[in-house]
A and B are shown apart, each in its own frame.
Chain A
Amino acid sequence: SQQGEEDPQALSIQEGENATMNCSYKTSINNLQWYRQNSGRGLVHLILIRSNEREKHSGRLRVTLDTSKKSSSLLITASRAADTASYFCATDSSNTGKLIFGQGTTLQVKP
């Protein structure tokens, strides 16, 4: 079953602005991962944050994790039109690799 809830479901911003997406989950986790999917394509792994970590950075991406609130956020700074895609969070509760995906946020960055 899907345990992740993401908001917003859709986000439209101008190039150069920051985009923030949120993810909430229900059970305890080993790690939480963020993926990107361009329309009709496979998934690209963006960043993984472990349950004992609170924040991680990778280029223009910043991910936070609050295990007490069972939530995570993905911030994309200085967005570009090429960032237009769907973004999914996924949780791994057993460290077996079985991922439970959130519903996703569709991001549109207007040039």
Chain B
Amino acid sequence: GAVVSQHPSRVICKSGTSVKIECRSLDFQATTMFWYRQFPKKSLMLMATSNEGSKATYEQGVEKDKFLINHASLTLSTLTVTSAHPEDSSFYICSARPLDGGHQETQYFGPGTRLLVL
């Protein structure tokens, strides 16, 4: 089956630092990847759509200068949380939609990255 990885799985950083999270599709290509945020015992909230070769599309209320997204290749998207603050502490999950038209409706989720900002 299709596999999506995220790195790191867990990160602790000091307030004010920037953190980069990688999302990779391991055995398929994806022109579109999605970034979600999940608070404890809550649902997933879509943050942005990452498009290979073009700018990301952010959902309303998500600061694009705060959450930088780069989709450099068909298998890699990165989310950088800039100048992180404790309120940015959360579980960040990515998903990828295969390029193959036959299965475009299905997307595959990464295992998530837990960010703790001290």
Interface residues in chain A, defined as those with a beta carbon under 8 Å from any beta carbon in chain B: 1-2, 4, 30-31, 33, 35, 40-45, 48, 50, 88, 90, 92, 95-104
CB <8 Å contact, A2 and B43:
yes
CB <8 Å contact, B44 and A45:
no
Contacts of A104 in B (CB 8 A): 43
The A interface, classified by DSSP as helix, strand, loop or mixed, is strand
CB <8 Å contact, B106 and A99:
no
Contacts of B106 in A (CB 8 A): 33, 45, 48
What is the bound-complex CA distance between A103 and B108, given in angstroms?
19
B67 at the interface (CB under 8 A from A): no
CB <8 Å contact, A42 and B111:
yes
Which listed residue (A50, A90, A97) contacts B104, Cβ 8 A? A97
CB-nearest residue of chain A relative to B97? A97
CB-nearest residue of chain A relative to B41? A106
Closest chain A CB from B109 CB (angstroms): 4
CB <8 Å contact, A103 and B109:
no
Interface residues in chain B, defined as those with a beta carbon under 8 Å from any beta carbon in chain A: 4, 6, 32, 34, 36, 42-46, 49, 60, 91, 93, 95, 97, 104-112, 114
Contacts of B104 in A (CB 8 A): 97
Closest chain B CB from A105 CB (angstroms): 11
Closest chain A CB from B28 CB (angstroms): 14
CB <8 Å contact, A41 and B112:
yes
CB <8 Å contact, A42 and B46:
no
Contacts of A95 in B (CB 8 A): 105
A-B CB contact pairs (8 Å), 21 listed: A31-B105, A33-B106, A41-B111, A42-B4, A42-B93, A42-B109, A42-B110, A42-B111, A42-B112, A43-B93, A45-B107, A88-B44, A97-B49, A97-B95, A97-B105, A99-B107, A101-B36, A101-B43, A101-B45, A102-B43, A104-B43
CB <8 Å contact, A45 and B108:
yes
CB <8 Å contact, A100 and B110:
no
